[in-house]
Structure 1
Amino acid sequence: MKATRTGIVLRPDPTRVLFRPFEHSSATRTLKIIARVNAMTEEEAEQKLGEVIREFGSRHYKLERFFLKRFNHIKSQLLTDEPLTLERKLLLGAYFTMEYSLESAALFNPSMVWHPDQTNVPPGFKRFILSMRATGEGHISSITFRMGYIDQDSKIILRKPSRYVTSPEIVPNHRFNRAQFERKLYELRLSNPISEMMMSGLGEEFVVEEMEDRLKRVLTQYRHHAEYEAIASSLRTLSRSNYELDFDDDQSLDERCIFPTSPNETNGIEDARFVRFVDDDGEVTYYATYTAYNGQVTFPQLLQTKDFTHFSVSTLNGAEVQNKGMALFPRKINGRYVMLSRQDGENIYLMYSDDLYFWQTKEILLKPTYHWEFVQLGNCGSPIETEAGWLVLSHGVGPMRKYAIGAFLLDLNDPGKVIGRLTEPLLSPDENEREGYVPNVVYSCGGLINGNELIIPYAMSDYASSFATVNIHELLNELTGSQKQVEVNVEEQSL
């Protein structure tokens, strides 16, 4: 059986720009720029600031606030304490700010979940969130969002995004649990007498500033000891890789962009697989497993939110936190968290854990078996619960590195048991989809079920994105070998 294409295409839009810090190559160059701006007369400074605001103000949300923030970042390099006018501060901030077109190169690898807010939705419609990997200058990837509606006939209506795009504020006083932080140190093989001494002055919970004060005291005592400096650097990197983000409440969701922040993410945030997770007590949290890339090594990490306004970012740790493509099940099974993974870059594995942030073991689930997946096999997002079992979209790579999307079905109570598996792909790149940054690829990071249809958002050759649909009953019958219509436990019923 084959998926039906909708014909909807989301292409990268280079006009969607956000402001970013414009960092210069040396402190000397920074000082020269400051000196040149401060040599301007007040009239010249006001005139230049006016030009900047007229040219760029309508392209951004709260641009002057960011200019002032950038001034505060560089004011320590001012040569005197002579007070500056607000206009000159803003102008200095503008010289250390740049525009970044976050999706100028690609808009791909979409993931789809139901919106947590279904109020004021027209009858017969449901509101959804589409997250996508946006790639811009320098091939740096970030997470961007779109919103839309689906009606009872599975017609997809996408809302036109705002032209404004803004990255969030990093929460300055992120609070750490000391026991969990120390466990992460142990898993990273950083637990030793030196790190224990550095942590010894901290309480059961602490904030980054408290740890930084403790590190400074220890390093003052053991200055010029390279080992102490290295351990302190590792502690700082771990703390900066676990952080919180806040967007303004009055920002539309499609104006929000999660841009790389931590040391693990310097070269991008890739392929977020969002899932609506329901805990045993009924509490709902949206999680996304994603790949952080620092230019050399990939790191599986976890994003979580309840409202898509406040986000927490956490490192994942444990012996089996490796490679790409981890996908969390939408609830615990037999009291444990469950994850799909692909540690060896070739096979699909199943993982269980009592702790969401630590994963120690894995078991083989599926190996490449059919011609279109001989090179490698992986998931295309989190499993979807149905009465027939856990429905998983998969991707396979065949000759000429051609990617295709398939599906398999797992037992609800024992997901290590495979009930059925498609021998042919649901979706392969056609002539309109095979050209792009990486040709001959269709790929998804997660779909959902709407009524009788499985909605599959998918990327086309790492360039643009689209949607396809499959009749869910026909698909489940194919996977179970049954001619009887299987009821679907649709997750939106609990919204």
Structure 2
Amino acid sequence: MKFAKRSEMNPLLKPSDVKPSRDDFKVDGVFNCGVCKYKDEYILLCRVSESVKVNTEDEVKIPIVVNRDGKDIIEIFSFNKKVDIKYDYSDSRSLWIEDEKGTKKIAYLTSLSHIRIARSKDGENFEIDNEAFIKPIALEEEWGIEDPRITKIEDIYYINYTSVTRNGAATSLVSTNDFKFYERHGIIFAPENKDVTIFPERINKKYIAFNRPVPSAIGGADMWLAESPDLVHWGKQKHFYGVSNENSWENGRVGGGAVPFLTEKGWVKVYHAADKNDRYCLGAFLLDKDDPSKILAKTNKAILEPEEVYEKEGFFGNVIFTCGCLFEDGIVKIYYGAADDKVCRADIKIEDIFTLMEK
């Protein structure tokens, strides 16, 4: 039995709805959005991914944020598949190169992402801004900024996102109280650590956040919990939940998903997981109100998985990935990226999530 109800308006946003930031750019995707309510509007902070237009199939152009004379600008680096043969071009998302030990690593990303605001009165009909809300800076985000999540604490909206450079994928933090201006707080989790979600209130006088470090030798892409006195300095890391060793929907990696929300039964955490074939789905935890490291229950099966054409086909198919949801009137409104290029929404009753959980 299926409990999640997809919006009849899906996809709510798609690449053709977004104006490129430059004439020589094309929009590859609008997806993986953080969500909140601000005044009388639904606010989505959308990841907008762009690449440089090319004239031939052999041409590859790479956009990178650089600093010139104290100003951050985008510089374009050109490659030719027939000439620059040291690179592996088989992945459309990146260029790979082999080091002296024969190990392949990413040399460049083919796209550059920034964050834009989309607004709606009803939560389904969105208009997206023509200009970026948060642009990447050369020092911390030369390869772009991705997957924003919004946590409201008192009157401040804290926005954490993945910040990417040649040194790896880190997590940065900014804050705003009006979605017009924001303050940067720098990198809060060093590479490689992403999928960070911050709880919307202090627990035992500490800020708490999920994070997902990715070890290269021992361990897997698992979820951890950290605490902080000020949202900037994080420590006391504790392993929370690991990748399944079974033949399941979460045997590849697990991660952040949406910001947790509080119910009468405890914290509900919608998270994402992928199998070994990179098929991304969503599940949910029920956590203790005073100690969110304690899992009271969880969904054994995915609550939302790729089924519709717009989820199976796109820039990277078979992907449902969320960065935010809203809990209103007993309904969990999940905003998610579909196939890495569209914004969609699905609603599920909180009681149905509890029904799907197994202790």
**Fold agreement, TM-score > 0.5:** yes
Q: Deviations over 1:107-126 (max 9, x none)?
A: 111221111x23xxxxxxxx
Residue of structure 1 aligned with 2:205, choices 335, 360, 374:
335
Residue of structure 2 aligned with 1:135, choices 36, 46, 49:
49
Amino acid aligned to 1:157: E
**Equivalent residue, structure 1, for 2:334:** 456
**Equivalent residue, structure 1, for 2:265:** 388
**Equivalent residue, structure 2, for 1:4:** 5
Distance in structure 1 (CA, Å) of the matches to 2:176 and 2:242: 33
Residues 15, 363 of structure 1: CA spacing in aligned structure 2 closer, same or farther, 3 A cutoff? closer
Q: Secondary structure at the match of 1:166?
A: coil
Residue of structure 2 aligned with 1:444, choices 322, 325, 332:
322
Q: Secondary structure at the match of 1:158?
A: coil
**Equivalent residue, structure 1, for 2:145:** 269
Residue 420 in structure 1 maps to residue 290 in structure 2? no
Unmatched 5+ stretches in structure 1: 20-98, 119-126, 151-155, 168-256, 279-283, 482-495
Deviation at 1:274, TM superposition (A): 0.9
Distance in structure 2 (CA, Å) of the matches to 1:388 and 1:477: 13
Distance in structure 2 (CA, Å) of the matches to 1:336 and 1:5: 36
Residue 158 in structure 1 maps to residue 121 in structure 2? no
Amino acid aligned to 1:17: P
Q: Secondary structure at the match of 2:277?
A: helix
Amino acid aligned to 1:441: V
Say what the alpha-carbon RMSD is for the aligned residues. 2.1
Amino acid aligned to 1:141: S
- The answer (yes or no) to whether the contact 2:300–2:356 under 8 Å persists in 1 is no
Distance in structure 2 (CA, Å) of the matches to 1:463 and 1:325: 18
Residues 477, 104 of structure 1: CA spacing in aligned structure 2 closer, same or farther, 3 A cutoff? same
Give the TM-score taking structure 2 as reference length.
Answer: 0.75
Q: Deviations over 1:411-434 (max 9, x none)?
A: 111111111110000111114011
Amino acid aligned to 1:301: S
**Equivalent residue, structure 2, for 1:113:** 36
**Equivalent residue, structure 2, for 1:175:** none
**Equivalent residue, structure 2, for 1:357:** 232
Distance in structure 2 (CA, Å) of the matches to 1:129 and 1:417: 31
Deviation at 1:157, TM superposition (A): 3.5
Q: Give the total of aligned pairs.
A: 290
Deviation at 1:477, TM superposition (A): 4.3
**Equivalent residue, structure 1, for 2:281:** 404
Deviation at 1:321, TM superposition (A): 6.9
Q: Secondary structure at the match of 1:475?
A: helix
**Equivalent residue, structure 2, for 1:258:** 134
- The answer (yes or no) to whether the contact 1:321–1:359 under 8 Å persists in 2 is no
Moved >6 Å (runs of 4+): none
Deviation at 1:323, TM superposition (A): 1.4
- The answer (yes or no) to whether the contact 1:409–1:420 under 8 Å persists in 2 is yes
- The answer (yes or no) to whether the contact 2:254–2:273 under 8 Å persists in 1 is yes
Residue 430 in structure 1 maps to residue 323 in structure 2? no
Q: Deviations over 1:404-457 (max 9, x none)?
A: 111111111111111111000011111401112212111010101121210011
Distance in structure 1 (CA, Å) of the matches to 2:332 and 2:261: 10
Deviation at 1:296, TM superposition (A): 4.1
Deviation at 1:17, TM superposition (A): 3.4
Q: Deviations over 1:292-319 (max 9, x none)?
A: 112442121001101111101122347x
Distance in structure 1 (CA, Å) of the matches to 2:42 and 2:308: 29
Amino acid aligned to 2:301: E
Distance in structure 2 (CA, Å) of the matches to 1:464 and 1:110: 10
Residues 317, 405 of structure 1: CA spacing in aligned structure 2 closer, same or farther, 3 A cutoff? closer
Q: Deviations over 1:124-159 (max 9, x none)?
A: xxx210111100124100001111134xxxxx4324
**Equivalent residue, structure 2, for 1:308:** 179
**Equivalent residue, structure 1, for 2:346:** 468
Residue of structure 2 aligned with 1:293, choices 153, 164, 176:
164
Distance in structure 2 (CA, Å) of the matches to 1:442 and 1:385: 23
Aligned counterparts, 1:239-254, within 5 A = none
Deviation at 1:166, TM superposition (A): 2.9
- The answer (yes or no) to whether the contact 1:4–1:470 under 8 Å persists in 2 is yes
Q: Deviations over 1:187-218 (max 9, x none)?
A: xxxxxxxxxxxxxxxxxxxxxxxxxxxxxxxx
Aligned counterparts, 1:40-51, within 5 A = none
Residue 18 in structure 1 maps to residue 30 in structure 2? no
Distance in structure 2 (CA, Å) of the matches to 1:18 and 1:402: 30
Amino acid aligned to 2:46: M
Q: Secondary structure at the match of 1:18?
A: coil
Residues 462, 157 of structure 1: CA spacing in aligned structure 2 closer, same or farther, 3 A cutoff? closer
Deviation at 1:104, TM superposition (A): 1.0
